[in-house]
Structure 1
Amino acid sequence: MATKAQHGDDYARLPPFLRGLREAAGLTQRDLGAALGRPQSWVYNCETANRRVDVTEFAAWAEACGFDPVAALTTFLAGSDPAPGAR
């Protein structure tokens, strides 16, 4: 059993999804961090599940990557991968 929420099975799909959003936008971790006012290490920790992302951070992440946050969340909940054309 996972000891932290970000290590649970339900959360496991989110970090790769976030990375997919960033990569679909053509951004480096450093670029995204700058857009969010965070260091590159914060982006790395979110993408590797070392840090849990809340809903407001998810929305800001999606926007910084050029995606509509509602569309990104809908895509995530549908179990789909982020696609470059789904902005």
Structure 2
Amino acid sequence: MKKGVHDNKYEDLITWLKSVREAKGLTIRDVGRLIDEPHQLVSKVEKFQRKLNVYEFVQYCVALEVDPYEGIDILLN
């Protein structure tokens, strides 16, 4: 089982989250406020310096108003 932040599927997932954020016109600071976390966390996630856990991933999806299952599909396919 790959566990690193540089796994191709994980990178695809984070790239998807970042593209959704940008498409909605949200900044890293906006997402930080929406998930009640420091904006540095969001920045580190998007730069592949920190990995999201499952709970954080769902929070992120809720904040971006996207279905977490779309992200899970990225990981599975």
Q: TM-score, normalised by structure 1?
A: 0.70
Residues 32-83 of structure 1: per-residue CA shift (max 9 Å, x gap): 0000011111101000110011222111111101112224433x2476xxxx
Does the CA-based 8 Å contact 1:36-1:64 persist in structure 2? yes
Aligned residues: 76
Instruction: Determine if the alignment matches structure 1 residue 53 to structure 2 residue 47.
Output: no
Instruction: Return 31-40 or 16-25, whichever deviates more.
Output: 16-25
> RMSD across aligned C-alpha pairs, in angstroms?
2.3
Q: Which has the higher contact order (CA 8 A, sep 6+)?
A: 2
Aligned equivalent of 2:30? 31
Do the aligned residues in 2 keep the contact of 1:21 with 1:62 (CA within 8 Å)? no
1:41 match: 40
In structure 2, the gaps of 5 or more residues are: none
Q: Which has the higher helix share?
A: 2
Query: How far, CA to CA, are the matches of 1:56 and 1:21 in structure 2?
Result: 18
Indicate the residue corresponding to 1:82 in structure 2: none
Determine what percentage of the aligned residue pairs are the same residue: 33
After TM superposition, the score normalised by the length of structure 2 is 0.78
Bigger CA radius of gyration = 1
Gaps of 5+ in 1: 80-87
Structure 1 SS opposite 2:10: coil
3-state SS, counterpart of residue 6 of structure 1: coil
Instruction: Give, as a single letter, the amino acid of the residue that structure 2 aligns with 1:29.
Output: I
